[in-house]
Every structure is written in C-alpha cells, then in structure tokens.
C-alpha cells in the first residue's frame, strides 16, 4: 500500500484538534429502542474511537419524533436522550476520541401510518405538499411507499427544533453538531425546487430556497460556535431529489458560499455514487457531475471533507495536494471498527459485510449481530 502520511497529520476542526484526517461519516444503524441510545451503541462508538478514528459523526439523530422515518433510529429531543448520549460521549472522550452529533429531520420521507409518526401527533411536514416517489415502509401493513406530506405552515417551528436539538447535544457533551443537509431530507427538500414550490420567503428563488438551511446553521452556530459541520450531496438522486446541472450549481454554490461565511468547522461534500442513485422510469434522478471539483472552490474558510467511495489512497492524494482536508468513510467503518489502524498498517479492509443486519429491525433478535461483532485485525 502506498504511503498515507498526509492522512495521519492532525487537523484543527473548530475548537478541537483531531489526530488524523480519517473521519467516520454518519451511517444509520437502527439500534435505539424507543429512540433512546443504549450501552450497545456506546460499545459501537467506543470501538472505533479506541482504534483512532479522527472524528466520529453519529448516525442521523432525530430532532423530533415527527421527523422519524424508521423504527429504532435515535433521537435527541428530551432529557432521557441527553442522558443516553452523554454516556456515549463521555466514553468516547475517555479513550481519546472526538464525536459530533448529526442532526436529522426526514421531512416528507416520514409516513403518517408509521408508529412513530402517530405518536408525534403531527402531520408529516415538508416544504410543499409534494410526495417523493418510491419508498417502502416495511414495518407498515402493505409496505406502502411515500405519501403526500403537509406543507409546513411556518418553517421556523422546525428551525427551533434544530436549535433545541443542538442545545441538547451541548448538554450531552458532544464536540459539535453536523447538519444533515444531504440525501433528500428536509434541508435538501427546501433547496430542491422539485420538492419546494412555495411562493413565500422560503421558496422560489435560490436565495429563498437556501434560507431554511442557512437559518438552521445560524441557530446551530449560536449554540456551538464554530463547532458545526455541514453535509451536502449536490448530485441528488437518493430519495427522489435532483435538479438540472445549471440549477444545481446555482443553488449549491450560493448555499455553500453563504454557509461558509458563518464560520463553521467543515463542509462534507458527498460525491455522486451509483449506490445512492434513484431510478424513475428507468432513468437516474441524480445530476451526474464532479461534485468535489465543482463546489470545492466555493469553500474559503471551513475545512473540506470528501465523502462517497473515497479510498485511503485517493484520500492521501487529495490531502497531500491540498485539495481536501480530510476524508469521510461510511460503509467500511461499519465493517471495520479498526479501520484507521488498518490503513496506517497497510492491512486490507477484508471483513465480510453482514448485509441483513446493517439496519436492524425490531425482530432481528441480538442487536450486536452485524454491529459490534466485526473482528479486529491482529496488527501487533
């Protein structure tokens, strides 16, 4: 394996210094009964922190029960959530790790018949009453797809929920928070004019469609200062979003430029990947283009992290050439808790993925299977 020296230089992110440039991006694992973090989740994050992950970003963590798409996804909206996450954060810090909470709201991708949505007692909120195509709710009788949501009467109500979630994350001791602005969820829905057809200050022009995400970021910064990250996937595709290239560039270049002015710690750019594409009538919904090359120049202040199918070898080149500050790895971090140590030692990433247990369902039995039982390499 080629040298990975550049990946193992420390990096300043906001108020913290991470020990290397290999970060774990948010990956949904669905191991939180009734939305509350557990000791098993603590074991999962500590495994990776002890094995020298530069920065851990939690799985998408729901800011409200209303924003739930699946059972067993964790939340951060009440005191019991704070207590559960604090145990995890404290344990990660005890072994020398750093951890951000990714704040998440699914918008129109929830379903009114889902148990979590019924408990919320609110409609499925979205920018506009426009359904995403596709979807398959396996925990609902008949396995329905997405349905038409209710247009948010006042987006400020959800912005306030993001702020409260950040306050809760601060109480739990997180090093920072990351705004989930990728993958077709609520921030993306506001940015994308196919999902957002509002005629008020929150829709229409690029500036208006960007307003929601920027106002959320301002609130997060008001709580965490510069310890705020942003994850974006301008290529779209996943969850039925995507605009023509000219509109994509106009929208995201403005949004990234304005977000970068807020003094946030980093922006993670998610490149196009066939694994996250979405097909409609046999055609890709994604906007195929060089996401990193197109939008990297608009980031002047924040650190830049590249995500999606990035290998350590490519990451070493991007970092050594000064094009990226770090890399974010998802799937391989699921299957290799000691990923960073393997990369440093030139050891292969050869664990076999347990696909049926990537996202555990309520009837899966032992939640540790496919979660904390992946083997560590014998590197000593």
Q: What is the pLDDT of residue 275?
A: 85
CB neighbours of 118 closer than 8 A, spacing ≥ 6? 112
Of residues 66 and 319, the one with the higher pLDDT is 319
Of residues 228 and 359, the one with the higher pLDDT is 228
**E-strand spans in 296-343?**
303-307, 326-329
* Predicted confidence band of residue 380 (pLDDT cuts 50, 70, 90): low
**DSSP 3-state of 153:** coil
Contact (CB, 8 A) for 355 and 366: no
Q: Active-site residues: which are they?
A: 185
Of residues 129 and 66, the one with the higher pLDDT is 129
Contact (CB, 8 A) for 228 and 14: yes
The string of pLDDT tens digits covering residues 96-147 is 999 999 999 999 999 999 988 999 999 999 999 999 998 889 889 999 999 9
At residue 1, does pLDDT exceed 80? no
- CA dist 335 and 371 (Å) reads 8
The CA–CA distances, whole Å, from 113 to 184, 196, 216 equal: 21, 23, 28
- CA dist 275 and 235 (Å) reads 12
- CA dist 284 and 36 (Å) reads 36
Compute the mean pLDDT over every residue in the chain, rounded to the nearest whole number: 95
- CA dist 271 and 184 (Å) reads 14
- CA dist 248 and 206 (Å) reads 10
Q: What is the pLDDT of residue 33?
A: 94
* Predicted confidence band of residue 69 (pLDDT cuts 50, 70, 90): confident
At residue 67, does pLDDT exceed 80? no
- CA dist 275 and 295 (Å) reads 21
Q: What is the pLDDT of residue 374?
A: 98
The CA–CA distances, whole Å, from 331 to 28, 284, 307, 310, 336 equal: 10, 22, 11, 11, 9
Neighbours of 118 (CB within 10 A): 12
The string of pLDDT tens digits covering residues 279-338 is 888 889 999 999 999 999 999 999 999 999 999 999 999 999 999 999 999 999 999 999
- CA dist 51 and 29 (Å) reads 19
Contact (CB, 8 A) for 109 and 61: no
Contact (CB, 8 A) for 345 and 14: no
Report which of 148, 165, 269, 300 is spatially closest to residue 222, judged by C-alpha positions.
165
Task: Write down the CATH superfamily of domain 6-347.
Answer: Aldolase class I (3.20.20.70)
Q: What is the pLDDT of residue 2?
A: 59
CA 167 to chain centre: 18
Q: What is the pLDDT of residue 282?
A: 85
Of residues 275 and 22, the one with the higher pLDDT is 22
- CA dist 69 and 359 (Å) reads 13
Of residues 336 and 365, the one with the higher pLDDT is 336
């Amino acid at each position: 394996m080629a040298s990975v020296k550049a990946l193992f230089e420390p990096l300043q992110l906001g108020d913290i210094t991470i020990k290397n440039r290999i970060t774990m991006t948010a990956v949904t694992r669905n191991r939180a009964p009734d939305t509350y973090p557990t000791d098993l989740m603590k074991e999962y994050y500590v495994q990776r922190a002890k094995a020298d992950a530069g920065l851990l970003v939690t799985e998408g963590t729901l800011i409200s029960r209303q924003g739930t798409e699946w059972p067993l996804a964790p939340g951060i909206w009440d005191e019991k959530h704070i207590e559960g996450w604090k145990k995890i954060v404290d344990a990660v810090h005890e072994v020398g790790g750093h951890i951000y909470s990714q704040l998440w709201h699914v918008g129109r991708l929830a379903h009114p018949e889902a148990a979590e949505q019924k408990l919320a007692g609110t409609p499925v909120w979205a920018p506009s009453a426009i359904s995403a195509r596709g979807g398959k709710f396996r925990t609902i009788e008949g396995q329905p797809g997405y349905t038409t949501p209710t247009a948010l009467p006042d987006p400020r109500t959800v912005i306030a929920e993001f702020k409260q979630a950040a306050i809760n994350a601060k109480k739990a001791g997180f090093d920072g928070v990351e705004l989930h602005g990728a993958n077709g969820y609520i921030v993306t829905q506001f940015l994308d004019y196919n999902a957002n057809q509002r005629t008020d200050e929150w829709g229409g022009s690029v500036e208006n469609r960007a307003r929601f995400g920027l106002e959320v970021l301002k609130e997060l910064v008001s709580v965490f200062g510069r310890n705020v990250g942003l994850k974006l996937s301008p290529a779209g595709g996943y969850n039925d979003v995507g605009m023509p290239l000219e509109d994509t560039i106009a929208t995201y270049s403005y949004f990234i430029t304005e977000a970068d002015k807020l003094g946030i710690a980093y922006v993670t750019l998610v490149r196009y990947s066939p694994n996250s594409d979405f097909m409609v009538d046999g055609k890709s919904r994604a906007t195929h283009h060089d996401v990193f090359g197109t939008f990297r120049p608009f980031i002047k202040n924040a650190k830049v992290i590249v995500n999606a199918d990035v290998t350590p070898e490519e990451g070493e080149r991007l970092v050594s050439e000064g094009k990226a500050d770090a890399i974010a790895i998802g799937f391989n971090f699921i299957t290799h808790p000691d990923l960073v140590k393997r990369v440093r030692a030139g050891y292969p990433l050869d664990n076999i993925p347990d696909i049926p247990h990537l996202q555990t369902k309520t009837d899966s039995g032992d939640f540790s299977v496919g979660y904390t039982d992946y083997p560590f390499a014998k590197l000593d």
